[in-house]
Homo-oligomer: A and B are copies of this chain.
């Protein structure tokens, strides 16, 4: 079963090539594709945060990990299944992140956001408003390597 999806927007920012860390200081503009109506953004500014689903378009198909690997190829961290880490080189090459809305410019068909972790030109596949009720209600547990990996991410 193959599923075809199409970008509904493109992200623009100052980061031109894939990098691991320091995403928080980079502002991003998410601009709707020409066949998507501006009306799709109506009322968005009543929310503070969005979930963005996007596509790792710079990831070559032949490097994708389907089994397990060290996060960031760092062998001091354990080998983890690809679905137990967030490495870009993953089946379907989908990224997901929560961003803060700076402001929505409906006329310009543009959402100005902070804390987006994709590079310039990233195709955006979906945008959903964040509701508190979708956040975890039970305690979050995660291994030490992931806390280390995230130290300079934002």
A130 to B2, CA, bound (A): 27
Verify if A97 is at the interface (C-beta below 8 Å from B).
Answer: yes
- Copies, count: 2
A126 is an interface residue with CB less than 8 A from chain B:
yes
**Least Cβ distance of A59 to chain B in Å?**
12
* Min distance, Cβ A122 to any Cβ of chain B, angstroms: 12
Within 8 A of B (CB), among A44-73: 44, 46-51, 53, 55, 66-68
* Interfacial residues, chain A to chain B (CB-CB below 8 A): 1-8, 36-37, 39-44, 46-51, 53, 55, 66-68, 78-86, 90-92, 94, 96-98, 100, 115, 123, 125-143, 146-147, 150, 153-154
